[in-house]
Amino acid sequence: MSKRPPITNRVKELREANGGLSQAALGEAVGVTRQTIIAIEQGRYSPSLETSFRIARLFGVGLEDVFGWEGD
Amino acid sequence: MSKRPPITNRVKELREANGGLSQAALGEAVGVTRQTIIAIEQGRYSPSLETSFRIARLFGVGLEDVFGWEGD
DNA sequence: ACGTCATGTCAAAAATTCTTTACACCGCGG
DNA sequence: CCGCGGTGTAAAGAATTTTTGACATGACGT
Whether the Cβ atoms of residue A55 and residue A26 lie closer than 8 Å to each other: yes
Closest CA to A32 of A15, A10, A55: A55
Distance B66 CA to C1 C1' (A): 42
The pLDDT assigned to B71 comes to: 76
The beta strands (E) that lie in chain B are given as 7-9, 67-69
Distance A3 CA to D30 C1' (A): 48
Question: The whole model's pTM is what?
Answer: 0.93
Residue pLDDT, tens place only, B37-70: 999 999 999 999 999 999 999 999 999 999 999 9
Q: State the average pLDDT for chain B.
A: 95
Q: State the average pLDDT for chain A.
A: 95
The sign one gets for the Cα dihedral B60, B26, B17, B69 is: negative
Whether the Cβ atoms of residue A24 and residue A34 lie closer than 8 Å to each other: yes
Residue A71, pLDDT > 80, answer: no
* B6 to A62: CB separation less than 8 angstroms, yes or no: no
The pLDDT assigned to B3 comes to: 81
Answer whether B46 touches A (CB < 8 Å): yes
The pLDDT assigned to B1 comes to: 60
Residue pLDDT, tens place only, A11-46: 999 999 999 999 999 999 999 999 999 999 999 999
